[in-house]
């Protein structure tokens, strides 16, 4: 325990702990923390659905019918009909044959990525013998989410990391390792930078080199595309080589994760993925609420339009001040700071002014590439955005780092 005491003392003395928030309400988009009202520009609740009356009403139906939790593995008596109904809708939304749902998005990446290369090994216990030896290799964008990186590490397979969205380098690696079963993994929307993966070109590479393309569309599902279908709908780009991953805790305002792909793949994963078979899944009320959310997103396009109107308004005004946004493609619009201490200081100053924005620093991003990750949602009012813009304008001459472009 002495090691942890030393680490704790160092972090505390160097003021490296993030600010401790005691939150008594959830952002809608304002919330109460330690008795103070704050406007949140950090919530993943992009469309404001988590507290929508229709969502709550649907969840209540599920609560009254099933209670507060499942308490069962879906392989051992917990596979409720409402889960299968939701999975059918998720597969249809992603233009795939089938989907399977897991307890969280993080568990989805850990479980699926670690299982894909091991499925044949697990099935050997039942007498399966492959006609040939398949050796797998992952090809991962350097900016992929930590759940992706950990899922790949758990697989025990070799991994090649390519420069962020550098498809020339990716292709060179694919050529070099042609003897492997190749699994390309990328975020759809990169969570700390807000930019979008070049999906059409990646699909071309996957099909050219007979690779699986695994796309983590956590921040795109429900946000991108004409009907909120995510990155594939955004580009109108689909492929049998693609496995879609998504989360249910962001635009859908609830809890859970899923993949959508071909049925023969999901059939195998149900029996080989520990994160699916050896744990409970989401409470039934969440499934009821998510089905309602999917219908609302599809049939109420004005919600997404308001989100994008707010995004455009913020981008237009903050760039006029000279701040450098790392991306303007999505509702995630990080302001580059660079220096970790300055980033934390600015986040604290905004907090004192009634604004909550996450200071994103190492290990979430590389050292000296810290940023304030501004995230707008559909329920922000113009007055709330103007308040943030006014505060940022007042600080731009006091702190020069936000005006310095990333190297």
Say what the pLDDT of residue 18 is: 64
pLDDT digits (tens, 9 = 90+) for 128-186: 887 788 899 999 999 999 999 999 999 999 999 999 999 999 999 999 998 999 999 99
Q: Where are the domains of the chain?
A: 26-51+301-403, 68-298
Q: What is the pLDDT of residues 332-352, one digit of tens each?
A: 999 998 888 888 888 889 999
Region 89-104: mean pLDDT is 97
Q: Do domains 26-51+301-403 and 68-298 have the same CATH topology?
A: no
Mean pLDDT of the chain: 92
Per-residue pLDDT at 16: 66
User: Cα–Cα–Cα angle for 272, 277, 280, nearest 5°?
Assistant: 160
Confidence label for 398 from pLDDT (cuts 50, 70 and 90):
low
At 232-279, the pLDDT tens digits run: 999 999 999 999 999 999 999 999 999 999 999 999 999 899 999 999
94 and 260 Cβ atoms separated by less than 8 Å: yes
* pLDDT greater than 50 at residue 407: no
| 153 alpha-carbon distance from chain centroid | 19
pLDDT given for residue 25 in this prediction: 87
Q: Look at domain 68-298 and name its CATH class.
A: alpha beta
Please give the average per-residue pLDDT across 37-50, as a whole number: 95
Overall CATH class of domain 26-51+301-403 = alpha beta
What confidence tens digit (pLDDT) does each residue in 311-331 have? 999 999 999 998 889 999 999
Q: Please provide the size of the chain in residues.
A: 407
CB atoms within 10 A of CB 177: 16
What is the predicted pLDDT for the residue at 19? 65
Comparing CA positions, the residue from 48, 88, 101 lying closest to residue 247 is 101
Q: 245: which residues sit within 8 A by CB, 6+ positions away?
A: 105, 108, 109, 112, 214, 215, 216, 217, 218, 257, 258, 259
Three-state DSSP class for residue 247? strand
């Amino acid at each position: 325990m002495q090691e942890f005491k030393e680490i704790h003392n160092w972090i505390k003395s160097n003021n490296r702990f993030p600010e401790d928030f005691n939150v008594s309400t959830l952002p809608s988009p304002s919330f109460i923390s330690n008795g103070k009202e704050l406007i949140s520009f950090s919530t993943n609740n992009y469309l404001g659905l988590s507290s929508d009356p229709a969502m709550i009403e649907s969840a209540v139906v599920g609560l009254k019918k099933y209670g507060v939790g499942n308490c069962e593995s879906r392989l051992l008596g917990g596979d409720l009909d409402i889960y299968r109904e939701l999975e059918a809708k998720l597969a249809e939304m992603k233009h795939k044959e089938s989907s399977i749902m897991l307890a969280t998005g993080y568990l989805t990446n850990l479980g699926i990525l670690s299982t894909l290369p091991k499925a044949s090994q697990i099935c050997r216990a039942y007498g399966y013998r492959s006609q040939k030896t398949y050796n797998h290799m992952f090809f991962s964008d350097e900016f992929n989410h930590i759940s992706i990186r950990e899922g790949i590490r758990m697989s025990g397979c070799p991994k090649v990391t390519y420069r962020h969205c550098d498809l020339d380098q990716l292709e060179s690696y694919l050529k070099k390792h042609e003897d492997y079963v190749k699994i390309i993994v990328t975020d759809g929307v990169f969570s700390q930078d807000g930019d979008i993966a070049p999906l059409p070109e990646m699909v071309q590479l996957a099909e050219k080199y007979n690779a699986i393309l695994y796309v983590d569309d956590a921040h795109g599902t429900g946000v991108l595309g004409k009907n909120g279908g995510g990155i594939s709908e955004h580009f109108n780009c689909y492929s049998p080589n693609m496995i879609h991953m998504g989360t249910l805790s962001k635009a859908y305002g609830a809890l859970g994760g899923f993949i959508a792909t071909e049925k023969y793949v999901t059939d195998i994963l149900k029996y080989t993925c520990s994160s699916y078979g050896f744990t409970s899944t989401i409470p039934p009320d969440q499934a009821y609420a998510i089905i309602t959310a999917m219908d609302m997103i599809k049939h109420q396009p004005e919600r997404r339009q308001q989100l994008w109107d707010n995004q455009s308004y913020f981008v237009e005004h903050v760039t006029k001040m000279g701040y450098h946004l790392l991306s303007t493609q999505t509702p995630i619009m990080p302001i580059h700071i660079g220096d970790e201490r300055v980033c934390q200081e600015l986040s604290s100053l905004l907090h004192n002014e009634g604004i909550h924005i996450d200071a994103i620093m190492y290990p979430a991003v590389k050292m000296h590439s810290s940023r304030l990750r501004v995230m707008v949602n559909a329920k922000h009012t113009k007055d709330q955005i103007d308040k943030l813009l006014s505060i940022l304008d007042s600080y731009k001459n006091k702190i020069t780092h936000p005006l310095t472009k990333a190297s």
